[in-house]
């Protein structure tokens, strides 16, 4: 005889009931559930389900409707080049956190839509490296026009712990992170880039504000996919305040190539290590690591992301010995 799974008509949770029970109490919303199908009519169930989905928001809360669901808008998270990012929580119980990206200028809609195409492509792909790196990339939920302006907006999955960008890190540690920490940071970036490249995309904007470190852990997340495209496609935009992070060829109109992402990753690591505008590193950075960074930043040496990731690990072992846990620590974290 097949087992039956009972669901609460009020909140949708699975109800744990003994085999011969006719009534049970939902452990999540405390509703009394009759296990006889004849007791709860379909109409009553639908009405209860509709009330659950459309529960009233807390007093004074600002709500938005996206993907057919009501969300409560919380504090702003970031201000990007073309959009503002807010944290939102699903209005109905149980709440689910997400990120809401809102476009600021209609003229930038093509970049916004390109980001959605790139993210959905990566989310749907099961190619090399991606299944284990899902939480290192933004996870798309829905992209749709704003009901009043018609401008696109998107919901992305919320991943706790990734709150500070490389730019925040440099601001908190002006003299730079420890060189040992820079090794794992660069390896994490190269792992993500390797997966993106092997699945047919180039990021095109590996900049400090698009790289987030995980609080208290050895994780890095890559965001800002509005310029991501297939190799040999034209670069859609350049973020002028960060022009020094782009290889000269990109600024001169060269088409996207994976090695440009790799070079930008090296420049981002030089930045968090405390390099000055003239490229000079603090004296405490070991010479083998400094040479590898400078070579990659200039587009020389190993330019395959995964092969370079292995090379970074070898240099790390050479200068620091075996790997140790070395999380970033600064006051705002």
Q: What does the alpha-carbon distance between residue 241 and residue 330 come to, in Å, rounded to a whole number? A: 25
> What is residue 58's predicted lDDT score, i.e. its pLDDT?
64
242 phi/psi in degrees, rounded to 5: -115, 30
| First vs last C-alpha separation in the chain | 54
Q: What does the alpha-carbon distance between residue 269 and residue 72 come to, in Å, rounded to a whole number? A: 36
Percent of residues, the chain, with pLDDT higher than 90: 53
Q: What does the alpha-carbon distance between residue 257 and residue 51 come to, in Å, rounded to a whole number? A: 51
Q: What does the alpha-carbon distance between residue 198 and residue 186 come to, in Å, rounded to a whole number? A: 18
> What is residue 1's predicted lDDT score, i.e. its pLDDT?
39
Q: What does the alpha-carbon distance between residue 247 and residue 227 come to, in Å, rounded to a whole number? A: 15
Q: Which residues pair with 152 in a beta bridge?
A: 145
Highest-scoring range by mean pLDDT, 56-60, 166-170, 328-332: 166-170
The CB density around residue 298, as the number of other CB atoms within 10 Å, is: 14
Q: What does the alpha-carbon distance between residue 27 and residue 33 come to, in Å, rounded to a whole number? A: 11
Q: pLDDT tens digits, residue range 172-227?
A: 999 999 999 999 999 999 999 999 999 999 999 999 999 999 988 889 999 999 99
The CB density around residue 174, as the number of other CB atoms within 10 Å, is: 7
CA atoms in the 13 A half-sphere facing the CB of 42: 0
Read off the pLDDT band of 324 (50, 70, 90): confident
Residues 6+ apart with CB under 8 A from 204: 227, 228, 229, 235, 236, 250, 256, 260, 261
Q: pLDDT tens digits, residue range 61-107?
A: 677 888 788 888 888 888 888 899 999 988 877 778 999 999 988 89
Domains in the chain (CATH in brackets) are 6-53 (no CATH), 63-157 (3.30.200.20), 162-320 (1.10.510.10)
Strands 97-103 and 14-15: unpaired
Residue the block writes with tokens 């603090």: 282
For range 247-273, the mean pLDDT: 96
């Amino acid at each position: 005889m097949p087992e039956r799974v009972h669901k609460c008509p009020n909140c949708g949770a699975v109800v744990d009931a003994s085999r011969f029970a006719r009534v049970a109490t939902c452990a999540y919303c405390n509703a009394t559930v009759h296990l006889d199908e004849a007791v709860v009519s379909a109409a009553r169930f639908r009405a209860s389900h509709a009330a659950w989905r459309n529960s009233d928001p807390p007093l004074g809360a600002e709500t938005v409707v996206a993907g057919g669901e009501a969300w409560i808008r919380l504090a702003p998270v970031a201000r990007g080049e073309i959009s503002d990012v807010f944290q939102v929580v699903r209005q109905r119980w149980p709440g689910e956190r997400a990120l809401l990206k809102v476009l600021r200028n209609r003229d930038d809609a093509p970049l916004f839509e390109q980001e959605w195409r790139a993210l959905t492509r990566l989310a749907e792909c099961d190619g090399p490296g991606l299944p284990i790196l899902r939480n290192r990339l933004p996870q798309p939920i829905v992209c749709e026009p704003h009901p009043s302006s018609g401008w696109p907006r998107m919901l992305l999955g919320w991943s706790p712990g990734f709150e500070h960008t490389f730019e925040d890190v440099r601001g908190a540690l002006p003299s730079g992170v420890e060189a040992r920490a820079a090794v794992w940071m660069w390896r994490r970036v190269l792992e993500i880039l390797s997966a993106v490249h092997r699945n047919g995309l180039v990021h095109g904007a590996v900049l400090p504000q698009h790289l987030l470190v995980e609080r208290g852990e050895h994780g890095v997340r890559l965001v800002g996919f509005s310029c991501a495209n297939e190799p040999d496609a034209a670069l859609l935009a350049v973020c002028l305040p960060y022009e020094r992070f782009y290889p000269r060829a990109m600024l001169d109109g060269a088409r996207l190539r994976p090695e440009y992402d790799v070079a930008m990753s090296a420049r981002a690591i030089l930045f968090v290590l405390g390099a000055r505008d003239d490229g000079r590193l603090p004296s405490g950075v070991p010479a083998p690591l400094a040479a590898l960074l400078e070579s990659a930043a200039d587009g020389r040496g190993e330019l395959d992301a995964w092969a370079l990731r292995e090379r970074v690990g070898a240099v790390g072992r050479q200068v620091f010995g075996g790997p140790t846990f070395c999380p970033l620590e600064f006051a705002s974290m």
